Structure 1
Amino acid sequence: MTQPTPAPLSRSTDPEFFALLADSYRRLLGKPLVPDSVPAEARAAWLYDSAPFGILAHNTEADPVFVYGNRRAQAIFGYDWQELTSLPSRLSAEAPERSERQAFLDQVGAHGYVDNYRGIRIAKSGERFWIEGVTVWQLSDADGTWRGQAALLPNVTPIEAAR
């Protein structure tokens, strides 16, 4: 996998975007996205640089585009920040998997979040892999305005190893 390039600080560790991710997660799942042991002022940087799980977020466009991917997600998918944040999120799945992915995202929209998702994804290199134990949640601000969806990817397994 390629080494991720640094992200522009305006998004990767932006306190307002971090608050959107973390507050939406806590509201819907009732638990913190970042361990409480991480100092408050360091949480956005921890999520981007040090989290042991991938985090992705996409916007609300008709064909949603990733607007965030932490270093772990960049390593999983093989894209740097610039590439990832210009990629329509549907392209993270192969064409035959996209209808299943969309049905799942519609379920997230109806329920606020869904956890324990498992699906096949594809890296920039063409490598296919399973994402497992995934939680996807709605991103909404304090006023309830929908801003997109985010995913926490705790487990990634190469297709060959999953057989």
Structure 2
Amino acid sequence: MSEIWQKPEIIDWTQNLLNSYEKLLKKALIARKSDLEEQAKTLFFAPFVVASHGIEKDPIFNYGNQTTLDLWEISWENLLKTPSRKTVKDNLSEAERAKMLLQAKEKGFIDHYQGIRITSKGKLFKINNAIVWNITNHQGTYLGQAATFSEWEFLS
């Protein structure tokens, strides 16, 4: 059985994530000197969160690296069944979240985002300086949104 990051669809998705990030933010998310599978492995084991969701009406996660899985205390299989809104603490209104996602969609990305999130086991944590960006393929087709951050703190 292959590792998550070795699956062809994850290697392809990793390229969409990395290419979109570079195009919008004019910098690389990770070093990209290696082959595509090695890039997928590097992103999957990066010491910062990278998570993404698709374009469903109620967007569902379609990627989360190992840091994401550990932070959210969730398995890969369960992450892929989770609407991204389920990881947002209730005190962030749906209207505020929708406004943030729309702003990212219109501009291409937002940075310095912060908010309260909740793990699958109910622990609250605050994220700081997150970047949310649109994911597109080589043809420019919109595929969803991703987020990355390396600053978080658990709340009591």
**What TM-score does the superposition give when structure 2 sets the normalisation length?**
0.90
Q: Is the 8 A contact 2:5 2:40 kept in 1?
A: no
Give the percent of matched residue pairs that are identical in Structure 1 and Structure 2.
Answer: 31
Q: 1:148 matched to which residue of 2? A: 144
What RMSD in Å do the two structures reach over aligned CA positions? 1.7
What are the equivalent positions in structure 2 for 1:6-155 lying under 5 Å apart?
A: 7=4, 9-10=6-7, 14-36=10-32, 39-41=34-36, 42-48=38-44, 50-99=45-94, 100-155=96-151
Alpha-carbon offset, residue 8 of structure 1: 7.3
**What TM-score does the superposition give when structure 1 sets the normalisation length?**
0.87
Q: Is the 8 A contact 1:90 1:98 kept in 2?
A: no
The superposition leaves residues 16-46 of structure 1 with CA deviations (integer Å, 9 ceiling, x where unpaired) of 111100000000000111124x523411111
Unaligned runs of 5+ in 1: 1-5
The superposition leaves residues 109-156 of structure 1 with CA deviations (integer Å, 9 ceiling, x where unpaired) of 110000111100000111111011100000011111100000002111
Alpha-carbon offset, residue 14 of structure 1: 2.6
Q: 1:3 matched to which residue of 2? A: none
Structure 2: distance between partners of 1:89 and 1:39: 31
Deviant stretches of 4+, over 3 Å? 6-9
Structure 1: distance between partners of 2:128 and 2:145: 17
Q: Is the 8 A contact 1:7 1:82 kept in 2?
A: no
Structure 1: distance between partners of 2:100 and 2:114: 10
- Deviating more after overlay: 54-63 vs 101-110: 101-110
Report how many residues are paired.
152
